[in-house]
Chains A and B, each alone.
Chain A
Amino acid sequence: MSIAHGEGGGGGTVVSLAGRYGGLVPAAVLFGLFFFIPFGLIVCFSFWQDFDYKVIHHWTVENYRYVFHQSAYIRTMWATLWMAVAATGITLGLAFPFAYWLSRYVRAGLQKPLLVLVIVPFWTSYLLRMYSWLTILGSKGVVNTALEWLGITHRPLSLLYDRPAVIVVLVYLYFPFAVLTLYSSIDRFDWDQLRAAMDLGAAPLRALRKILIPQIRPGIITAIIFVFIPILGEYLAPQIVGGTKGIMIGNLIDNFFAGAEYARGSSVALVVALFIVLLLVLFRKSLASKEAYGA
């Protein structure tokens, strides 16, 4: 089958299959060769063995046994998970009132410019935005200088190089994602429904919880996808502001590769990748099950 009818019909063109699908060939080569095949390699490597800075093709589950039996690694995995949960929770918690304000209380003409203003920091380098937190949380940083100037503390607090610093920076980095998705979802909400609920006697917060929240559920799920999932694979934030105490699973992977332990590193990477794919599938399912508001 080498021919198919052009959809137009107007010109009665006959377009060959190559013409219709040919556009996908460069993408298939690029993604196939450099994305899907390398992913397959990770799978293979994770079941091979590191030996003397080389990887020998001996099939085994030893890497997984090793990784899941070292308490330090297990701790890092759990820490990554709870840091991601905490950062996502805080980000969404902070973004919701903002998106609510923007959508409900701001004049229609001003909403878009104010929204763009939220995204502007996001246009700038991810590395640099993290870097600037060193000047804020450092021992001679803005926060410590202010606290000492106010006489609240007399010695610099150590705010950097631990998990809380990482969480703060993650919240900062992912906040715009959460605002965007929540706003686009809240913006389609019909506020009359909320008024009706309140006219019928519901307290404002109860009305929000019972009427607004269920309707923007898809927006909330989309926000979680855009915040929680990238945080799971976060490498740079813990590297820069987390120090040794704030490491996440991404740093663990980096350590293995830096030490040329490709097989063990691959096994951790595969665990992360599969977990993320699983989450994506689950989130998409739950998005598909309801009428999509936000996505």
Chain B
Amino acid sequence: MARDPGVLTTRGRVTRGGLVGYAGLVYVFLFAPIVLLVLFSFNANQVGTFPITGWTTQWYSQVFSDPDIQDALRKTLEVGGEVTLISVVVGTAAAFPLVRSNLPVPAVFRVALTLPIMIPGILIGISLLILFTQVFHFQLSPQTAVIGQSLYTTPFVVLLVAARLEGFDRSLERAASDLGANTFNRLRYVVLPLISPAIFAGALFAFTLSFDEFVITYFIIGGYNTLPIYIFTQIKYGITPEVNALASLLLISSIVLMGTAFTLPQVLRGVRRLVRRRIAERQIVDPVGEATV
């Protein structure tokens, strides 16, 4: 619907129709690969592509009973947990001075803290490979992968928490300290509850990114498998329906996780606003006797 239908000429209407059709195609382009993957995961055909020879959930039961996949899943969750913990602690701690202290050359700090997002994963991967194997002589392990992934996930936590802190009403803290709260209590009872949605979103974000991370991990995890690494090694031998099933499960869990990370703060804010408005409405409307809430 146009914002001002009155202005639309015939030509405008044709343009609009064309654009609507085009937008439809865009969505097909965006979703077809995902839908197909899920479709093929139920296909009885051994090859994992067309033709569809029947429907089965066999590949899913194979996924659940495959010890290699279970092992890779366990590693992925372990790595993801550690990465999340590191990113949340380091990222949140860094967001405070970034927003609140008058840092000299703030732009430099901002760029330095977000640079790992802009630098291709392969460069982070190989530079850490050099550090770990040529300089430190570490054995590559899931722990070295945790370090690599944290570089990539921490900036997202910094950005999310910093954004939340920017919009933070500091008079709340001042009020708390006027009421006698010390630094710890201000942090514990005022600041943390207010920024917790951002921290939570950051944690989910970090976990999901870690869960899917391939390039950095590939270079520095040594002989271990996370799920993406496992899938990559399987793809080398062609498409299998089992990988399709695993992929579908991962796609769905990613969508759910990321969806939560993105929408939760907004939903919470929405609910809070709604509750506040209801309360306000009641206070204003009730005296007049028109409350219909």
Distance in angstroms from A30 CB to nearest chain B CB is 6
Q: Which residue of B lies closest to A270 (CB)?
A: B123
Which residues in window 99-136 of A have CB below 8 A to B?
100-102, 104-108, 114, 116-118, 120-121, 123-129, 131-136
Which residues of the other chain, A, contact B118 by a CB distance below 8 angstroms? 229, 276, 280
Task: Write out the residue numbers on chain B whose beta carbons fall within 8 Å of the beta carbon of A52.
Answer: none
CB-CB under 8 A from B29, the residues of chain A are 172, 175
5 residue pairs A–B, Cβ–Cβ below 8 Å: A24-B93, A105-B1, A121-B33, A124-B212, A125-B250
Q: B69 on the interface (CB 8 Å rule)? A: no
Can you name the residue of chain B whose Cβ is closest to the Cβ of A254?
Answer: B122
* A residues near B33, Cβ cutoff 8 Å: 121, 129, 132-133, 135-136, 172
The answer to whether B259 and A123 have CB atoms under 8 Å apart is yes
Contacts of B89 in A (CB 8 A): 26
User: Taking the nearest CB of chain B, how far is it from the CB of A158, in angstroms?
Assistant: 15
Interface set, chain B 120-136, CB cutoff 8 A to A: 120-124, 126-131, 134-135
Q: Smallest distance from the beta carbon of B159 to chain A beta carbons, Å?
A: 13
How close is B260's CB to chain A, nearest CB, in angstroms? 10
Range of interface residues on B (Cβ < 8 Å): 35 or more
The 3 A-B residue pairs whose C-beta atoms are closest, nearest first, are A233-B120, A10-B174, A11-B177
Q: Is A30 within 8 A of B86, CB to CB? A: yes
- Please determine whether B208 and A276 come into contact, CB atoms closer than 8 angstroms: no
CB contacts (< 8 Å) of B173 on chain A: these are: 8
Asked, given contacts A230-B120, A276-B118, whether A257 binds B129 with beta carbons under 8 Å apart, the answer is yes
Residues of A within 8 A of B156 (CB): none
Q: Does A66 contact B (CB under 8 A)?
A: no
Which residues of A from 213 to 237 have beta carbons under 8 Å from B?
229-230, 232-236
Task: Evaluate contact between B120 and A234: CB separation under 8 angstroms.
Answer: yes
B231 contacts which chain A residues (CB < 8 A)?
A: 127-128, 131
Shortest beta-carbon distance from A139 to chain B in Å: 9
Q: Which of A35, A117, A262 meets B27, CB within 8 Å?
A: A117
Alpha-carbon separation in the docked complex, A241 to B29 (Å): 17
Q: Would you call A145 an interface residue if the criterion is a C-beta within 8 Å of the partner chain's C-beta atoms? A: yes
Contact A55 B134 (CB under 8 A): yes
Q: Contacts A8-B174, A229-B118 known; A128 to B250 CB distance under 8 Å?
A: yes
Whether the Cβ atoms of B214 and A127 lie closer than 8 Å is yes
Which chain B positions have C-beta within 8 A of A104?
2-3
Q: Are B90 and A26 in contact (CB under 8 A)?
A: yes
Report A185-231 residues with CB < 8 Å from chain B CB: 191, 195, 204, 229-230
Expressed in whole angstroms, the Cα–Cα distance for A118 and B34 within the complex equals 13
Assess whether A142 is interfacial by the CB under 8 Å rule: yes
